[in-house]
């Protein structure tokens, strides 16, 4: 695979501060030892450097990006430097003023708001008192000003039995066109709270069954890059490929393609490969050359070479019937679970899922 | 075609990714176009001063087998660039 000359996209953790304390915050580890956010001028200088690299899109997340009092100024800096942007937010701080501003920029790809339930009990249990109502109010304000938004649902122990109700609520009551779904992964605060947040294989199987059914009822309206629906689709593909003895599509650590297209920046200005790999320090904004980091940083090049590591190197994988169709999954979760990005991640492993009692509906695996 | 009043739209972003192909991104419309090396070369020539004839002369310096009716092809291509907002009329 040829490497493009500069990254196309950058995700920026624009602040380490948040007004909520979600029990499965995957970004929580990114804010250790960060006391102060960078100043407006430091970010604006960085945006001009992104323009020099012809970066097209910036995602602003955090923390809660709407806590930054200078958010409008930062967005104007993004626009001035010929980029588009999106915002990942809990939705609780959206005001008429900011929605109107976002609409007028004409450069906002979307605002992503987290909704994890159909009522405050289901949502607030993991995200904090009052957060559901405020998020719904935020969505209504975005709708009023015609700002493009998406919903992210995180599946956890408190909502996996209610996925059909959640889909119905989002599609029929909130009238959203689509939503994306993932599940609480072994990252950030979830590492501490995993026992009452993360699904066990039996619960994961129930979530898979519900989501595959919903995916038939609402075709192409539930998006998933990770979590039960994404795993289910990948696993069904792997199982069918195995049964039909298809040509290999995996067998190496190829589970992440992000580092061939984008980078991320922590709230303290440290450039990192991905928000989930915040411990890998590639350099500092406005000090180190982004182009040089992208093309030459040894850590980044090492990560890109993961694609040459065969799953046959790992004893657990060697006798797996799915090895030729497996990608080794997310390197960040491999790191948090095993301390090494150059190993396959146990999360997302079909063999392990089945051995631990997981299953998916027969109708989806018949050939 | 008079190209001496045409310039690349100042808002667009040219991404030279590899093999001299170029992605042209318009952040206002969110459209992305992919140009082959010849298309990218022509787009970059549009500086408000260069004529079609001059563009073809420059192409001949770097490419073999330029067709005799290249003027028509280049003019049609520039009209397409104009249609999609990738070039614009120069402000006086």
B12 touching A (Cβ < 8 Å): yes
Residue A273, pLDDT > 70, answer yes
Q: How far is CA A310 from the centre of its chain?
A: 26
Residue A2, pLDDT > 50, answer yes
Per-residue CA distances from A114 to A28, A87, A111, A127, A264 (Å): 16, 12, 10, 10, 21
**Structure token pair of residue A68:** 């930054």
Report pLDDT for A367. Answer: 46
How close is the nearest chain A Cα to the Cα of B23, in Å? 10
Question: Nearest Cα to A146, choosing from A111, A197, A189?
Answer: A111
CB contact under 8 A, A84 and B11: no
Residue A27 φ then ψ, to 5°: -90, 0
A192 touching B (Cβ < 8 Å): no
B15 touching A (Cβ < 8 Å): yes
Per-residue CA distances from A68 to A16, A72, A104, A187, A327 (Å): 10, 9, 19, 25, 38
The model's pLDDT over A37-59, given as tens digits with 9 standing for 90+, comes to 899 999 999 999 999 999 999 99
The model's pLDDT over A274-319, given as tens digits with 9 standing for 90+, comes to 999 999 999 999 999 999 999 999 999 999 999 999 999 999 999 9
Per-residue CA distances from B11 to A106, A214, A327, B24 (Å): 13, 42, 39, 10
* H helix or E strand, kind and range, residue A11: strand A9-13
CB contact under 8 A, A54 and B15: yes
> What count of other Cβ atoms lies within 10 Å of the Cβ of residue B31?
13
Q: What is the pLDDT confidence band of residue A162, given thresholds at 50, 70 and 90?
A: very high
Residue A366, pLDDT > 60, answer no
Report pLDDT for A234. Answer: 94
The model's pLDDT over A181-230, given as tens digits with 9 standing for 90+, comes to 998 877 777 778 778 888 999 999 999 999 999 999 999 999 999 999 99
Report pLDDT for A34. Answer: 65
Mean pLDDT of the A73-99 span: 97
Per-residue CA distances from A255 to A26, A50, A202, A249, A362 (Å): 19, 27, 24, 11, 26
Rounded to whole angstroms, how far apart are CA atoms A356 and A14? Answer: 39
- Comparing alpha-carbon positions, the chain A residue that sits nearest to B13 is A54
Rounded to whole angstroms, how far apart are CA atoms A297 and A295? Answer: 6
Considering chain A, what percentage of its residues have pLDDT values greater than 70? Answer: 97
Environment class of A174 (CB within 10 Å of its CB; exposed 0-12, middle 13-18, buried 19+): middle
Report pLDDT for B92. Answer: 67
ipTM of this complex: 0.89
A2 touching B (Cβ < 8 Å): yes
DSSP β-bridge partners for residue B22: B16, B35
């Amino acid at each position: 695979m040829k490497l493009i000359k500069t990254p196309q996209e950058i995700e920026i953790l624009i602040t380490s501060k948040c007004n909520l304390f979600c029990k499965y915050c995957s970004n929580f580890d990114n804010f250790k030892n960060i006391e102060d956010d960078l100043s407006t001028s430091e970010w604006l200088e960085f945006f001009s450097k992104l323009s020099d690299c012809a970066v097209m899109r910036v995602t602003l997340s955090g923390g809660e990006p709407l806590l930054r009092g200078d958010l409008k100024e930062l967005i104007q800096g993004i626009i001035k430097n010929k980029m588009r942007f999106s915002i990942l937010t809990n939705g609780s701080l959206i005001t008429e003023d900011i929605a109107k501003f976002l609409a007028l920029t004409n450069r906002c790809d979307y605002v992503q708001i987290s909704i994890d339930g159909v009522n405050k009990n289901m949502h607030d249990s993991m995200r904090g008192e009052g957060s559901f109502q405020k998020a719904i109010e935020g969505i209504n304000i975005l709708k009023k000003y015609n700002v493009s938004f998406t919903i992210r649902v995180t599946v956890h122990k408190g909502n996996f039995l209610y996925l059909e109700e959640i889909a119905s609520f989002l599609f029929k009551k909130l009238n959203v066109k689509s939503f994306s779904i993932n599940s609480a992964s072994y990252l950030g605060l979830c590492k501490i709270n995993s026992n009452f947040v993360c699904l066990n294989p039996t619960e994961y199987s129930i979530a898979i069954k519900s989501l595959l059914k919903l995916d038939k009822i609402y075709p192409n309206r539930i998006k998933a890059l990770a979590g039960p629906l994404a795993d289910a689709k990948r696993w069904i593909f792997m199982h069918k490929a195995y049964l039909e003895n298809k040509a290999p599509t995996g067998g190496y650590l190829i589970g992440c393609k992000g580092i061939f297209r984008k980078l991320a920046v922590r709230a303290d200005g440290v450039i990192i490969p991905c928000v989930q790999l915040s411990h890998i320090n590639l350099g500092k904004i406005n000090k180190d050359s982004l182009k040089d980091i992208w093309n030459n940083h040894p850590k980044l090049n090492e990560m890109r070479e993961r694609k040459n590591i065969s799953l046959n190197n790992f004893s657990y994988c060697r006798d797996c019937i799915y090895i030729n169709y497996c990608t080794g999954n997310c390197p960040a979760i491999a790191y948090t679970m095993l301390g090494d990005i150059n190993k396959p991640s146990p999360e997302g492993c079909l063999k392990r899922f089945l051995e631990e009692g997981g299953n998916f509906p027969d109708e989806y695996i018949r050939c | 075609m008079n190209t001496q009043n045409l310039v690349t739209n100042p808002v667009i972003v040219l991404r030279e990714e590899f093999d001299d192909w170029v992605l042209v991104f318009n952040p206002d419309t969110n459209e992305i176009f992919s140009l082959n090396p010849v298309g990218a070369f022509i787009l970059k020539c549009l500086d408000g001063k260069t004529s079609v004839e001059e563009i073809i002369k420059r192409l001949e310096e770097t490419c073999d087998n330029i067709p005799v009716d290249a003027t028509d092809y280049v003019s049609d291509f520039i009209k397409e660039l104009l249609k999609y907002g990738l070039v614009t009329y120069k402000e006086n």
